[in-house]
Structure 1
Amino acid sequence: MRVVTLAAADDVAEWRAAARGLLAAGVPPAEVLWREPGAGVADLFAQPPVAQPPVAQPPVTMPTGTTGGSAQIRVSRAFLELAGRAALHRDPQRFDLLYRLLWRLQRQPRLIDDAADPDVRRLHDLARAVRRDIHKMRAFVRFRELIEPDGTARYVAWFEPQHHILRANARFFVDRFTAMRWSILTPAGSLDWDGHTLREGPPASRAEAPAGDAAEDLWRTYYASIFNPARLKIGAMLKEMPRRYWKNLPEAALIPALVAGAQAREAAMVQAGAIDFGEAPASLAAVGSAIAACRHCAIGGNGTRAVPGEGPPDAVLMIVGEQPGDSEEAQGRPFVGPAGQLLRGHLGAAGIAAGDCYVTNAVKHFKFTPRGKRRLHQSPTASEIDTCRWWLDSERALVAPRLVLALGASAARGVLGRTVSVQRERGQPLALDDGSELWITTHPSYLLRLPEESRAAEEQRFAADLRAVAQRLKGIGA
């Protein structure tokens, strides 16, 4: 067994040199044990870059070790780039994985393209986690001003990376904050930039970083002022700003209260921007005439034809979509395109007669992006949905359905006036102020966009939602 001890946990250059020698000697992966003693202290720019091999270089060649042979071992650029990232992961087995892949690549040159191979999958997983950690450090480092004894300012930040990314991120911070004197402290090491030279320092503790500075109150005020409750998606926010980073972000203390008050603030914003539409239309025909002339939002002025709802004026079930599509705008009727055909098929299968339903949309004009001769669907904004809600409320008041089926998040917002999670609320009744019930499911166009392998399962869920609505219709005697 050969034991290779690296000088630093992120020293990819040393690993490559050692791996080259082992390959030359014909040493198989099972006979190599890789160890790392920890990061050393050195000048960052006194050695070659270790995290990102220059992409302009040709693939690295290494001798085979064959006595007197001239064959060369070629290592692809794709492998080197992935390995350079994966080597910064905290997985203690990462260097074993890299050498095992390097060994196998000599016999299987296209191995790196095999996404089903367990080693290749693991390599991509490690590289992806490191890329994410690098991005999070760049996004969430917060410098705080510290006045030094000579009266000059130094900006100090505390960060807790998940992987060995400190040195890999050094160039970014030097280029971004060249004119500042700053230090980044982490449990694994530190960086100090004096405006001319970057140096590494030893590991640090949170207590060595300033707890705050005078600018943070101003920053919190700014953050609160730009927090838009109408665009709040908690799941997406937590994905982009995981809770583990909150303790080092001054604005994070505001987030729970901002989230808790988001719906009230959103309602206030909608009310403040409310448009005076005048008296409510007295008939569905009046609604149709009024939406044709409506120019209260940009969609109404884009030159497309308004598409009114259609169906029995006393329908028990009202079905609400997002907006008319290309086919609907061309014919002036709702749900006549591919999504409408899919919807009608599922309604019939659930035992719901499409002709007995009043069908309409939350937004009455077609919002699109031109692409050559085609018009590609573009989702309406929350503001546009809220503006058009006046017409949907008018239709609901005139038809007075017992049940309302909202297809997708935009339709649900059009009915409720707020954003909801379709996946969380689907398949169950929500009581509305007028005594009717709202049922939410996905929009059929969503099913049409899914790849074949996942579409079947989602169609089954869609069908189950419609069967639940059909059962409820029977329960109320419709």
Structure 2
Amino acid sequence: MPHMTVTLAHEADFAGWRTATRSLAGRHTPPADITWQIAGGTESATLPAPDPEAARFTVPRAVMELAAIMVQSALPDRFTLAYTLVYDHVMGMPTGEEAADRMARARDDVITHTRHLRDAFREALSGHDGTTPYQGRMETPDLVPESNARFLTLQRSFAPWQLDMPDRTLRWTGHEMLREALGQAPRPLDPTSLPPPALPMVPDLDITRITSLRAVALAAKTCLICPMAAHATQTVFGEGRETARMMFVGEQPGDIEDRAGRPFVGPAGQLFDRALHEAGIGRDDTYVTNTVKHFKFRRTPTRRIHEKAGPAEIAACAPWLAAERRIIRPAVVVMLGVTAASALLGRAVTISRERSRLIALEDGSDGLVTVHPSYLLRLPDEAARAREYDRFVNDLRLAASRLAPAVT
């Protein structure tokens, strides 16, 4: 097989490396037969064309996580080492002892630098007035700042920031990421091309400092705090106006919501929309979310069966729900079902005792407990369904009655 040269878009082009690796490792191309280089000036990235005859393969998450750390390390042959990890796995071979030792040392350095960057950033933000763009400096030989660019951007709620290093500057303008190498003009940097950081983003984020709902939603998509996140298809965050005066909180997304990535779009959501319409409430004027942001289920041969969220899952998701309430500041919060009511009221709740009455919440908003729309779908008797549906609509009307006329 002829020698292969792969030209990546920039020094931390993990996405380009991954695309090339998928093709080359599938062809069983040895690491020694590949040269990895970085595009310079006006030169473009050059990746191998997809090969339909290349073998398909899967790589354990731990292998790809270590490969991502190698790509952001200071090692001059980091792309070769990252490729070697994958190639050895595909070929069923152990990685050489010398290479493994170098990877272990590089991993420790990257993790240490990641922790240092985040700690320094948080400390600097605590004394920053927020009226001007944050500008800091970091002495590092590796690509840790690039891999943590999303962390810094979310922690700043998309406000501009700049990080200067001896050989380059990384800057978020509020609209795009720019990277300016020493002696070169600033160039746009696609955040999706960067390797994921060596440490989880969410446990290190100070969610209480994030003031943008969009930033909170994007941060939640990387959440791996509880085991549900590893099994669900995706995080299902809330949806609606950031200025909504009415918030609806359910238990958790279902199977359809988990696949769609949107709350209340399955059968219960369709019933909910119908009830909103009959109550004179426009869904576009509301914010709809769940206590838990991932679908908890047990798998059968044909289906994924919903399982009730437990205290651990509710506690893990509590910061996300708290951030939604803090940013949106709704006048009325409607709790759909016992899970939402118990989580928001901080005590055991019996729907029959709490339903259809207004409750003063600690943030000054009005709360109202009612049933979850899925409860109506489970009722076996048609007459009971009609009766309970009418009562549900009346609950929504009661909640809406607490809204003062919108200021125009």
TM-score range, shorter chain: 0.3 to 0.5
| Structure having greater relative contact order (Cα 8 Å, sep ≥ 6) | 2
TM-score (ref. length: structure 1):
0.41
TM-score for the superposition, normalised by structure 2 = 0.48
Larger Rg: 1
